[in-house]
Amino acid sequence: MGGDQWGEDYRTYSVMGQHRLRVYVVWGAVGWSSNDWEHATRIFVRNRSVYVPPMPPLSNDAQRRSYSEWLSSYYDEPYEWGGEWVGGKETPGTARAGGPATYDGYGIDCSGLVCNGAYRAGYNWSGWRTNTTGLASSYYSSATATPTAGDLLVKPGHHVISIVSQSGDVIHILHAKGGESSDPQPKNKVSYERDKSLRDYLESGYQGRTMLQH
């Protein structure tokens, strides 16, 4: 972004969301002028403790950890259907773009969150962006009856959830919650939720899926 000055007014990184950073953008360093577009600056702050590895650790534990930590950097990001990458929607004019009447450019949806995390963690999918139905397909993931930290819970056509910690039936999860989620807790943002029941999700139509490296 060309900024050579940046600071922070406070930081408490032990709790996700409890920090606020100020950013100063030096326009001339990248050839912008005051008449250019408004540019949003996104700072990723990963929570290094959000992932609790299964025991014994799995062979791809480092990648699962990286994936979960990248998801945590989107904590509290607004939800918007079709949103992807750093809070922006797909290419304007596509079927999922929404159009100028509904697009504000700052949201992300449930599958977009997963695809971003997988991209940044190096899963190397050809066609990095897919939807919940795609995430449940054999190219992107394999079925597992015992999902654990770093795995997905997918209800194709509806919603996808990432498990970041699992102990027996108790799981901690990260997901972008929009109108498709029946959970009574607050929606319309990327949420971190503790002490959820894995069994309840599996019995309500979610599939356990392990993401595949390519």
Task: Quick: pLDDT tens for 60-103.
Answer: 999 999 999 999 988 888 887 777 765 555 444 444 444 344 54
pLDDT for 142-199, tens place per residue? 999 999 999 999 999 999 999 999 999 999 999 998 764 455 555 688 999 999 999 9
Say what the pLDDT of residue 84 is.
73
Which strands make up the sheet holding 159-167, listed edge to edge?
141-143, 207-211, 152-155, 159-167, 170-177, 189-197
| Number of folded domains that form the chain | 2
Amino acid type, 200:
D
Residues 95, 201 share a domain: yes
On whether both 63 and 112 belong to a single domain, the answer is yes
97 shares its domain with 136 = yes
Range of the domain at 17: 1-43
- What integer pLDDT is reported at residue 160 of this predicted model? 97
User: For residue 106, what is the domain's CATH number?
Assistant: 3.90.1720.10
> Quick one: pLDDT at residue 6?
31
Say if residue 74 is in the same domain as residue 25. Answer: no
Residues in the chain: 214
State the pLDDT at residue 104. 53
The reported pLDDT for the residue numbered 49 is 92
Q: Are 115 and 154 within one domain?
A: yes
- Same-domain status, 126 and 162: yes
Residue 65 sits in the same domain as residue 165: yes
Q: What is the pLDDT of residue 54?
A: 93
Largest CA distance in the chain: 56
Q: What pTM was estimated for this model as a whole?
A: 0.75
